Structure 1
Amino acid sequence: MARGKLYIGRKVRELRGKATQAAFAERLGISTSYLNQIENNQRPVSAAVLLSLAEKFQIDIGSISGGDSDRLLSALAEVMTDPLFEGHAPGLQELKLVVQNAPGLAHALIRCHQAYRRNSEQLASFDDQLGRANTFSEPTAYDEVRDFFHFVDNYVHDLDVAAEHLARKLGIPERDAGGALTEYLEAVHGVRVMRAAPEEQFLRRYDAASRALFLNPYSPAPTRTFQMAFQIAALEQQDLMNGITEKADFRSAEAADICRIGLQNYFAGALILPYQTFTTTAKELRHDLELLAARFGASLEQVAHRLSTLQRPGMKGIPVFFATVDRAGNITKRHSAAKLQFARFGSACPLWNVHQAFEAPGRMVRQLAETPDGVRYLSVATEVIKSGGGYRAPHRRYAIALGCEISYAEYFVYADGLDLTNRAAFDPIGISCRICERINCHQRAVPPLKARLKVDPNFRAALPYSIE
């Protein structure tokens, strides 16, 4: 797929530092005037200059050429669809200039809009929080942590490397991870792994006094293994995780606590699915989720989530999107290294195949999809059912979705047999009805925010209105 023009003026200025433009231009082998135009985003950087930057400054071309800016641009563009900005919303080129030259301002505007929406929603509800107006503009701790992982690209380098080092030491995945972690916890930390009593309803409980880790005996083996890896993170990585949360500068202690849980989950996934081995195997097996789960003794969700974290500089995996969605359409977990960005508010598009997964238990549901911006994707979804016990135990049901832009589809076994060249084979999907631009969608739930509606009492189609 062809890439657009690349404007990286701010990054080039950061690389130049205190050096003069003349000296820096000479080192790159370009004229000073061309460098000045690049730094001011008046001209895009050429492939030759990009390669020169990579060679002479040991930077990863992938890290300098898009990902973070694409996500930030998508989030900022969604904010600007709010009717609040009607008549004042900047064009796409202006938004790109803001993201490229003043990312801090873009983040600040997104945060302000989030506070505004929370304020509006809470005021509209007239609930018992009405008397605590000073709390309205504060983001929830959960939202803060979700945004933290979103903007670090769902990759935490120091934790990932530490987990990979331990996996190599323990011989994972050549050895059974469950057995290896059980032995390691007892030998190194004096922690015994115990079966919880049948009546106890939890996944994991750690008793620091007796140095005992109790696990639910009815949980699947991958879940028990993951909980042991989680406990190792708690015992060994506290200093590193505290440093990460301090740098994140969360607004509350609650957010920092939630982030530490997320970081422990991250370490656990990286330990069970060590980066280099997992990345290589994923490519060899063409990202077959079931084969990867069997190879590493992991669950489908663990594998799909790990694929979304493969963002190590110089060793990146295929850029994918990953999400978990409940039966009501709420996106409960999300990350995208692809251009597809999930809505921050509202439910997922009803035309997305993730909803069909609930109708086809035990199957991988494939879909070719196209978003309103013309980008095409391969998406695969499947239902997950979790239970902590027998017949009377509650069963949690949700779907996981994984996919990539169509230019990477050949690396996925799920593309086999699909006509990737036939545009008619692609289903039109959106991000959410609130911001979707499509005017002829028969599944539209609400009108798009910035659209004008026309109501004709003498005419009725699928919707009781038309969109101008």
Structure 2
Amino acid sequence: MATRKLYVGRKIREIRESHKVTQAVFAERIGISTSYLNQIENNQRPVSAAVLLALAENFQIDIGAISLGDDDRLLSAVTEALADPVFDNYKPNLQELKLITQNAPGLARALIACHQAFRRSSEQLASLDDRFGQSSAFNEPTPYEEVRDFFHFVDNYIHELDIAAERLAGELGIGERETGAALGAHLESRHGVRVARAAADEDIIRRFDARSKLLFLNPYSPTATRNFQIAFQIAELEMGEEVTALARKANFRSAEAFEICRIGLYNYFAGALILPYQLFLSEAKELRHDLELLAARFGASIEQVAHRLSTLQRPELKGVPVFFARIDRAGNITKRHSAAKLQFARFGGACPLWNVHQAFETPGRLIRQLAETPDGVRYLSVATELAKAGGGFNAPQRRYAIALGCEIAYAGAFVYADKIDLGNRAAFDPIGISCRICERTNCQQRAVPPLKRKIMVTPHSRGAIPYEIV
């Protein structure tokens, strides 16, 4: 497979401007001509390996941080938007799309927002029949969509909160002593708040009574859940100003989105507190990303561990770029993030050939899959079904599956790659992102035709799907 050319002009320009030097000075320090640097910054020429090494040596730049990040997410989202039939008369090539996302990311995000508004309008109007005009908010993203996109485009990493959480974790000895005891002791000594058992008939996970300074927790919740809720309460009491400032900077359209984001940021701090960055990253490498061992090591749940692995995007100290998703039995993706090239569809469900669906058939087991997307990129994917309970035999259980994975180039860092022939291309299942944008023509699990392709229906014959893609 040919090496992918790297056009990262905007990032190179940002590095130069952050050091406040001219093109001539910058070019001289990395050993190239000023005209060559100008071409790189304008994405007229790709960055060579020699230039990347010179940047790392002279400016202490993380090469991985240059080649991965926001551009891949934007490229995926723009590609999906332009696959809509409304753009039938415009078919940009990959180079055009890269020029937009790399040189004009603000314009790319504006296009995505417009497409989202168009889809919401179309779906709402189609369902209203003759009741048009009942709502003025059809073109508005839902609050949860706004917040989802906020975390998506900051790479699911909030530096200020992560650093503060790691500092506090060090003070409390998280990772060296029992987490719940450390968090509870801090909550009481610092804030005078005691942890109490919620009443048996109180259907809650957490409830804070500021007047009595009591934090009520469901006594039947798993230990990892109770620890997380104590950490959340610490975040709310200690990080309120920082969280509010971060949410305000996002300029959300609605008060609901603002409040949802604040809760999301408190959750982020809580996760970073019980799984402190550098200690967790070190243990993840040593244990080769074994989810069960990491969960036992930190007294966390498998989902908390998998989610935290997807946030290890600290500049100069990044973890393995992974994708992470949580999916319910109906196929809805309820959590998603990818630091890898694999980007999840913003509309519709996940590919039915992805092993996260199979996890529901094998509860309690971790299942592995080698997968290849239509662009030729290959992945290792690990999935398992999880259940959340906490109320005894008669209480309902929430069941869902999670998936975690990486590109094959990083698979050796995962215990789940052991005893698998990564070099056997026949072992890789062909998966897509979403049927509506997948270009595979011979998939027997296809739910709908690809948006940009025509179909042919023949009454005298049919295959696994009732049409041909032409």
* Aligned with residue 277 of structure 2, among 242, 255, 275: 275
* Aligned with residue 396 of structure 2, among 377, 394, 397: 394
**Contact 1:329/1:348, CA 8 A, preserved across alignment:** yes
Matches within 5 A, 1:397-416: 397-416=399-418
TM-score of the superposition, structure 2-length normalised? Answer: 0.97
Q: Which residue of 1 aligns with 2:10?
A: 10
Structure 2 CA distance for aligned equivalents of residues 450 and 462 of structure 1: 21
Structure 2 CA distance for partners of 1:366 and 1:464, relative to 1, 3 Å:
same
Residue 294 of structure 1 aligns to a residue whose secondary structure is helix
Structure 2 CA distance for partners of 1:341 and 1:273, relative to 1, 3 Å:
same
TM-score of the superposition, structure 1-length normalised? Answer: 0.97
Q: Does 1:356 align with 2:353?
A: no
Q: Does 1:44 align with 2:46?
A: yes
Structure 2 CA distance for aligned equivalents of residues 97 and 174 of structure 1: 48
Structure 2 CA distance for partners of 1:128 and 1:398, relative to 1, 3 Å:
farther
Structure 1 CA distance for aligned equivalents of residues 326 and 13 of structure 2: 39
Q: Which residue of 2 aligns with 1:462?
A: 464
Matches within 5 A, 1:314-353: 314-353=316-355
Structure 1 CA distance for aligned equivalents of residues 287 and 65 of structure 2: 26
Instruction: Show CA shifts across 1:370-403 (max 9, x none).
Output: 1111111111111111112011111100001111
**Contact 1:378/1:404, CA 8 A, preserved across alignment:** yes
Matches within 5 A, 1:82-121: 82-121=84-123
CA RMSD in angstroms, aligned pairs only? 1.5
Structure 2 CA distance for aligned equivalents of residues 312 and 93 of structure 1: 29
Residue 323 of structure 1 aligns to a residue whose secondary structure is strand
Q: Which residue of 2 aligns with 1:291?
A: 293
**Contact 1:144/1:250, CA 8 A, preserved across alignment:** yes
Instruction: Show CA shifts across 1:37-73 (max 9, x none).
Output: 1122111122222233334334332222232111111
Partner amino acid for 1:405? E
Instruction: Show CA shifts across 1:230-283 (max 9, x none).
Output: 000000001111111111111111111100111111111111111111111111
> Aligned-pair distance for 1:438?
0.8
Partner amino acid for 1:378? L
Partner amino acid for 1:6? L
Residue 383 of structure 1 aligns to a residue whose secondary structure is strand
Which runs of no fewer than 5 residues in structure 1 stay unpaired? Answer: none
Structure 1 CA distance for aligned equivalents of residues 132 and 57 of structure 2: 58
**Contact 2:206/2:229, CA 8 A, preserved across alignment:** yes
Q: Which residue of 2 aligns with 1:68?
A: 70
Residue 110 of structure 2 aligns to a residue whose secondary structure is helix
Aligned pair count reads: 468
Q: Does 1:198 align with 2:200?
A: yes
Which stretch of the first structure deviates more once superposed, 25-34 or 416-425? 25-34
Which stretch of the first structure deviates more once superposed, 84-93 or 316-325? 84-93
Partner amino acid for 2:45? R
Identity %: 74
Structure 2 CA distance for aligned equivalents of residues 127 and 390 of structure 1: 45
* Aligned with residue 182 of structure 1, among 181, 184, 201: 184
Runs of 4+ in 1 over 6 A off after TM superposition: none
Partner amino acid for 1:432? S
**Contact 2:68/2:339, CA 8 A, preserved across alignment:** no
> Aligned-pair distance for 1:20?
3.9
Structure 2 CA distance for aligned equivalents of residues 422 and 298 of structure 1: 35
* Aligned with residue 448 of structure 2, among 442, 446, 449: 446
Partner amino acid for 1:29? G
Partner amino acid for 1:191? V
**Contact 1:201/1:388, CA 8 A, preserved across alignment:** no
Q: Which residue of 2 aligns with 1:215?
A: 217
Partner amino acid for 1:240? E
Structure 2 CA distance for partners of 1:272 and 1:119, relative to 1, 3 Å:
same
Instruction: Show CA shifts across 1:349-383 (max 9, x none).
Output: 11111111111111111111111111111111111
Residue 12 of structure 1 aligns to a residue whose secondary structure is helix
Structure 2 CA distance for aligned equivalents of residues 2 and 275 of structure 1: 35
Instruction: Show CA shifts across 1:279-333 (max 9, x none).
Output: 1111111111111101110000000000000001111111111000000111010
Structure 1 CA distance for aligned equivalents of residues 250 and 380 of structure 2: 34
